[in-house]
Amino acid sequence: MVPRHFLTGDELEPQELAALLARAQELKAARSALLAGATGAAPTGALAGRSIALIFDRPSTRTRISFEVGVHELGGQAIVLREGETQLARGESVRDTALVLSRLVHAVGVRTGPHAALEELAAHASVPIVNLLTADHHPCQALADLLTLREHFGRTDGLRLAYVGDGNNVATSLMLLGARAGVEVAVATPEELAPGSEIVRAAREAASGGGSVAVTTDPAEAARGAHALYTDVWVSMGDEQGAERRRELLAPYRIDDSLLAHARDDAAVLHCLPAHPGEEIAEDVLYGERSAVWDQAENRLHAQKALLELLLVESAR
Ligand code: CP
Ligand code: NVA
């Protein structure tokens, strides 16, 4: 059987995405009942007897911990491999690594720079491959972002989400998955850092329900009437060389009270983290009452548990 990968989020039909978010909410409620000592809220054991390799070529706090905890809570085993810990570091091919891992584990998560390396691994693997972030996409993050919106507003369809800042991997995944979930995604970036036209086209093609994608250079225009304002770091992993230029270009794109004033009164503030308070987001906004950032970080766990169930359990039915 051809394994089901999760490389960009394109792999999910809109109704599957909606079902995944609903399942994530169920898993979140079950976990909190369990922690509160409720009977009948036993862990599902969906991954009992299964092992998942998690390969990290780049640092991570949220992704690594949420996956490790999530796999554990579903009854499986996670094997974390940091950069330099596999024979990839000594030149073993991606193909051979894919073939061997497919014999030993039941899924592989990868955080690396080049998206093409992930695609190569997926092309040779006979177990699901999950994107834990590449320079081009961060789809697991977008799942948690949509879950946070759904919790906050009771739906995703018809919401307006303004992403302000660098047109990077996080912006790309928000466009692709947000439009698919019926969200009106408005992206404001400096022209030099705008998302590529192919990605914008793909996101528009994937739109369902009230979903759409608009790109502008004006942060206030994007923020107008938004249910949520979202930003990410100005200097992503791998972009360190152009850091000064990025900071200059992005200075007008900070989320602060004056930008927030263009959004709805009940607008939530999102950030995938790690944050640089005072840079892409004002400190009082990050820690203020509109911030849903800490829910968003927690929601990585619940969304990814639902994803693992879908890829490993439901796909096998
Ligand atoms: N948001 C996110 O992916 O965080 P980490 O880099 O800590 O995993
Ligand atoms: N755009 C950021 C996201 C970090 C979670 C990066 O790629 O470094």
Spell out the domains of the chain, with CATH numbers in brackets.
14-137+300-316 (3.40.50.1370), 141-296 (3.40.50.1370)
Q: Which of 232, 246, 296, 302 is catalytic?
A: 232
Dist. CA 140 → ligand 1 center (Å):
10
Q: Which of 23, 115, 138, 302 is catalytic?
A: 138
Please give the model's pTM, rounded to 2 decimal places. 0.97
In this prediction, residue 41 carries a pLDDT of 58
Length in residues, the chain: 317
**Alpha helices per DSSP H over the chain:** 14-35, 62-73, 94-104, 115-124, 139-153, 169-180, 197-206, 219-223, 243-250, 257-260, 283-286, 293-308
In this prediction, residue 2 carries a pLDDT of 79
| Catalytic (active site) residue 82 | no
**What are the Cα distances from residue 265, in Å, to 207, 218, 219, 222?**
26, 20, 17, 15
Among 56, 57, 61, residue to substitute to test ligand 1 (most atoms within 8 Å of Cβ): 61
Q: How many CB atoms lie within 10 A of CB 58?
A: 17
Spans of the chain, pLDDT less than 70:
39-43, 316
Burial (CB count within 10 angstroms: exposed 0-12, middle 13-18, buried 19+), residue 3: middle
The backbone region for 141, taken as left when phi is positive above 0, alpha when psi lies in -120 to 50, beta otherwise, is: alpha
Q: What is the pLDDT of residues 231-274, one digit of tens each?
A: 999 999 999 999 999 999 999 999 999 999 999 999 999 999 99
| Catalytic (active site) residue 300 | yes
Dist. CA 1 → ligand 1 center (Å):
32
Provide the token pair at 190.
Answer: 């400096």
